Amino acid sequence: MELILTLKEDITVPVELDAILPEKIQDMSEEDIKNIEIPQGRARIKIGDIFDVELKDSEIPKMTVKNSSAKLKRIGEGMTTGEIVVEGDAGMHLGVEMKGGKIVVNGNADNWAGQGMKGGEIIIKGNAEDYLGSTYRGGYKGMSGGTLIVEGDAGHEIGEHMTNGVIHVKGSAKSLTGIHLSGGIIIIDGDVGDRIGGEMIKGAIVVKGKVGNVLPTFKFEGIVEDPVIKIRKKDEGVKVEGKFYKYSGDYCLTKPKGQLYISVDSNPDLRK
Amino acid sequence: MEYIIKNGIVFDPLNNIDGEKMDICVRDGVIVESVSNEAKEIDVSGCVVMPGGIDPHTHIAGPKVNTGRIMRPEDSYLDIYNKKGFKIGTGFSIPTTYKTGYEYSEMGYTTAFEAAMPPLKAKHVHEEFVDTPQVDKGALTLFGNNWIVMDYLKEGNYELCAAYVAWVLNASKGFAIKIVNPGGTEAWGWGKNVHGLDDPNPYFNITGREIVRGLTIVNEMLGLPHSVHVHPNDLGHPGNWKTTIETMDCAKDIEPKPKYGKRETIYHNAHLQFHSYGGTSWRDFESRGVEIAEHINKSNHITIDVGQITLDETTTMTADGPMEYDLHMSTGNKWANCDVELETGSGVVPFHYSPKGPVYSVQWAIGLDIFLNTDTDKVLLTTDHPNGGPFIRYSRIIAWLMSKKYRDYWLNEKVHKWAKARSSVGDCDKEYTMYEVAKISRANPAKALGLSLERGHLGVGAIADIAVYDIDPEEKDANTIEKAFRYAKYTFKNGKMVVKDGSVVKEVFGDTIHVNVKINEELEKELMKDLKERFKRDYTIQMDNYPVPNELARSWRSINIDATDIS
C-alpha cells in the first residue's frame, strides 16, 4: 500500500509527523488516516486538515509526501521497513532512530537528519544541515548503523558520536566533522571546515577536497594510495581511490584509533 | 478521614507479624486500634500489606543531582512521566523532583533520605525537597572532610567537635552524620587521594581511621537517632574489601547511646557492594561479598545497605571526588567536578553498566552475594540511587532475591560469564521470603535510622504509611513479583490514599525530617569564638547567611536531642 500525502498549502507552524509511518498505515483506510492526530505547534490537528490523502496499491509499504515543506518535522522517525519519498524539503529530525527501510528526499533536509540512526538508508538529494547522523543532545551514542548519503552539502558537527555505519557527503561540510567519532566511516567528496575529527577515538574520516586545518593532536602516519579502510581487523574494508595523507588521532585522548585521510592532490601545501 | 484496610496479609517485622490476616485501622494519619462505622472500608483480600517503604540512602535532591540533570539532557529523553492532573516529569536515572516523588509513591515507598548534603549547599537540597511530593524526606550532612572537624579531631577535642557537628546539623537542617571517603575528598583538593584507612591526607595529616572513629565518638556523645553513615575509603578499587573490614571495626568498642529511637548499632556502611571487591586489578577482579557478609554476621555493631548494580545506563554521583575522576578516565565520558569550600567536593559521571561487561557482571553478582549471605536483620535494600541503578529497579532486585530461577536466568543467559565464575551467586539456594523483603525495605531501615518508633511498622501509634501489593505471599513468578512491587495496589501516606492500582491519585507533600540538637551554652560560646574566626578568615559567605531558613520546607518534623550534658 502506498500513501500519498499532498500538503494543501504552505504551513508556518511546524508539524510533527512521527505518528505516521509506511508500516503503520498498511491496514488503514483513507478515513482512518485522515483522522490521525498530530501536533502542530502546541495544538493538535488531524492529518486531513492539512493534507490531501490518497491510497494506492504498492508492493512495498510506501509513503510519499508531495509539496513538502521544511516545517514538516520527524518524518520517518523510528521507521523499520518500507520506503518514504519526500518531494520537496524535509524538516528537522528526518529519520531519527530509524532501524530499516529507505528515505529519499528530493530536496533539502534540516538539522538532525538521521540522528541516532540504527539501520536503513537515507538519501538526501539536496543539502543537509548540522548534526547529520549525530546523537541526541548530550548523548554519547550517535548513529550506529545504516547509510546516509547527501548529494549536496552538509553543515557543522556531522557524525557526532557516531559508532557505526557510513555517511557520504558528495558536496562539502563545515566545521567539526566527525567530532567524538567512535566508529563508522565519514566520506566527504568536497571541502571541510576546521577541527576535523576533534576527540575522535575510533572510525575513519576521508576528505577528498580541501581541509581548513588538521588539529595538532593528530599524528602524521605517511602518504597512502588507494587505501582500503577497515575499522576492525575483520572488516571487509571500504576502498577509496586517490592519494591521501594518513593521520591517526585524536591524541588528546588515551590510545585513540581514529584514522584521518586527507587528499594530497587537493591539499598540496598541507605538510609544508 | 478514617480507613479500615480489611483482610490483607500483613508483614510487619518490627511487631513480629509474619503473614497474618488482619485489619489495619487508620484515623487522622495514624494507625489506631479501631475505627468508627463511618470508616471507609477497603477490602484487600489476598494482597500483601506492609508498612510504607523507607529508602535510607538515595540521591534525589541537591547540587550534584541537579548537575547530573543539567549535564544529561539525553537521560531526560529516556523517560517521561505525563499523567493528567500531575506535574510532568522527565528523566530515567536522575528524574525531576516531582517524578521522583510520584515514582517512590507508586512503589509503595513513603520515606527517603538524601545521602549527601554539603552544609554550604543545604539550601539547595531543601529547596528541592519543597518540590518533592509524596514522601517524607531528610538529608544526611557531610562531615568526613570538613576542615573544622578534621582540626578538632586532630587535637582530640571531641567536645568542641560535637558542638560544631550539632551546630552544623541545626544550621543545615540535617538528619545524621555522613562520612564520604574520610580524608580522601580533601586530598582531592590537592590532586591526590588517600589509599587505605591509615593513609594521612595532605596538610591536615589526619587518617580515615581517626576521622571515622572520632565522628563515631561524637555521634554517640550527641546521641543522634542514626549512627554514623559511612562510605569508606577506596570505593570501587579492586582489593578494597580489606579496607572495608578495617573501617567497620575501627570503632567497634563504642557503645550506642541514642537519645531517640531504638538503634542498637554504631556504624552504617553505605553501598557495601562498591566496597567488597577482591583481586588486585580489573583482570583478577572477584567477589568478596561472602567474606564481608560473614564478617557482618558475627559483628553486632553494623548495619549495611547494598547499593545493588541493576545493569542499566545510569548517572554516578558522589562526594568522593577522586573516585569520579578515576571513573571519568576509564570511560572517557563527560565529567563534572566540584569543590565545596572547607567542607567537601563531588563528581558526576554518566555510566553504562552493560550486562555484557565482565566487570559490571561481577559487580552485579557481588551485590547479590551480600544480600544472600548476610543476616537479613542487618541488610537494607538500596541501589545507592542513581549510582548502582535507578530506584525504580527495587522491584527487580526483590524479584532476583525471591526467585532463584530468575536469578539463574540472569546469571546464565543475560550477564557475562565472569559473574558465575567469580562469585558465589550460582551456588546459593536462598530465596527471600515476603517477611524478609519487608525487613530489608521497611523494618531494618527504620531501626537503623532510629525512626522505628513511628515508622517502618504497623503498630498502633505509627504514622499511617502503608503499602498494599497485589501479590500472593508464596508467589515465585519473577515477572509477577517485579510488577507487583513496582506498582503498588494502594499506597497510604499519613493516612491518605495517594496511589491506587499503581497510579498516583493524590498529591501530598511530606515532612522534612531533621534533628535539632541542643548544646550547652558555655560550650556554644567557646565554639562561636572559633567559628566566627573561621567564617571571617576562610568562608566566602557570612555566618548569618549560612543556616537554612525556616521557610525552606512545607513542614518540618524536628527530632529534638538534648546534648547539654557535653561540656
Q: What angle do CA A113, A117, A118 make, to 5 degrees?
A: 165
Whole-number Å distance between alpha carbons of B266 and B299: 11
Question: DSSP readout, B14-68?
Answer: GGTEEEEEEEEEEETTEEES---TTSEEEE-TT-EEEEPEEEEEE--SSHHHHHH
CA torsion through residues B22, B500, B59, B176, sign = negative
CA of B436 vs chain A CAs: smallest distance (Å) = 40
Inspect the interface and report whether the beta carbons of A136 and B74 lie closer than 8 Å: yes
For B222-272, what is each residue's pLDDT tens digit? 999 999 999 999 999 999 999 999 999 999 999 999 999 889 999 999 999
CA of B387 vs chain A CAs: smallest distance (Å) = 18
> Which residue does chain B place closest to A116, by CA atoms?
B74
Cell of B210: 581517626
Q: What is the pTM of this model?
A: 0.91
Q: What angle do CA B330, B400, B59 make, to 5 degrees?
A: 50
Residue A37, classed as helix, strand or coil, is strand
Q: Which residues of A touch B332 (CB under 8 A)?
A: 201, 253-254
Note whether residue B416 is domain-resident: yes
Q: Which of B73, B332, B334 sits opposite A201 (nearest CB)?
A: B332
Give the gyration radius of chain A's Cα atoms.
20
Instruction: Look at chain A and count its residues.
Output: 272
Q: Which of A138, A253, A254 sits opposite B74 (nearest CB)?
A: A138
Note whether residue B189 is domain-resident: yes
Residue B211, classed as helix, strand or coil, is helix
Q: Where are the beta strands (DSSP E) in chain A?
A: 2-7, 15-16, 37-40, 43-46, 51-56, 62-68, 72-73, 83-88, 102-106, 121-124, 144-150, 164-169, 182-188, 202-207, 219-225, 228-229, 238-239, 243-249, 258-263
Note whether residue B520 is domain-resident: no
- Closest Cα to residue B109, out of B481, B566, B442? B442
Residue B179, classed as helix, strand or coil, is strand
Interface contact A135, partner B, CB < 8 A: yes
Note whether residue B136 is domain-resident: yes
Q: What angle do CA B168, B172, B175 make, to 5 degrees?
A: 90
Note whether residue B140 is domain-resident: yes
> Which residue does chain B place closest to A182, by CA atoms?
B332
Q: Are residues B339 and B191 in contact, defined by beta-carbon separation less than 8 angstroms?
A: no
CA torsion through residues B383, B389, B393, B396, sign = negative
- Within 8 A by CB and 6+ apart from A42, the residues are none
N- to C-terminal Cα separation, chain B: 47
Interface of A with B in 31-90 (CB under 8 A): none
Note whether residue B504 is domain-resident: no
Cell of A44: 493538535
Average pLDDT of the segment spanning A16-37:
91
Sequential pLDDT tens for chain B (567 residues) = 899 999 999 999 999 999 999 999 999 999 999 898 888 999 999 999 999 999 999 999 999 999 999 999 999 999 999 999 999 999 999 999 999 999 999 999 999 999 999 999 999 999 999 999 999 999 999 999 999 999 999 999 999 999 999 999 999 999 999 999 999 999 999 999 999 899 999 999 999 999 999 999 999 999 999 999 999 999 999 999 999 999 999 999 999 999 998 899 999 999 999 999 999 999 999 999 999 999 999 999 999 999 999 999 999 999 999 999 999 988 888 999 999 999 999 999 999 999 999 999 999 999 999 999 999 999 999 999 999 999 999 999 999 999 999 999 999 999 999 999 999 998 999 999 999 999 999 999 999 999 999 999 999 999 999 999 999 998 889 999 999 999 999 999 999 999 999 999 999 999 999 999 999 999 999 999 999 999 999 999 999 999 999 999 999 999 999 998 888
Note whether residue B192 is domain-resident: yes
Q: Which residues of B touch A254 (CB under 8 A)?
A: 329, 332
Whole-number Å distance between alpha carbons of B175 and B288: 32
Q: What is the CATH number of the domain that holds B376?
A: 3.20.20
Note whether residue B120 is domain-resident: yes
Inspect the interface and report whether the beta carbons of A140 and B72 lie closer than 8 Å: no
Q: Which residues of A touch B334 (CB under 8 A)?
A: 140
Q: Can you give the pLDDT at residue B37? A: 86
Give residue B326's domain range.
52-452
> Which residue does chain A place closest to B72, by CA atoms?
A138
Q: Edge-to-edge strands of the sheet including B344-352?
A: B313-318, B344-352, B336-340
Inspect the interface and report whether the beta carbons of B72 and A138 lie closer than 8 Å: yes
CA of A253 vs chain B CAs: smallest distance (Å) = 8
Residue A193 pLDDT > 80 = yes
Count how many domains chain B has: 1
Interface ipTM: 0.82
Whole-number Å distance between alpha carbons of B421 and B485: 30
- The residue among B71, B77, B80, B90 with the most chain A CBs within 10 A of its CB, best to mutate, is B77
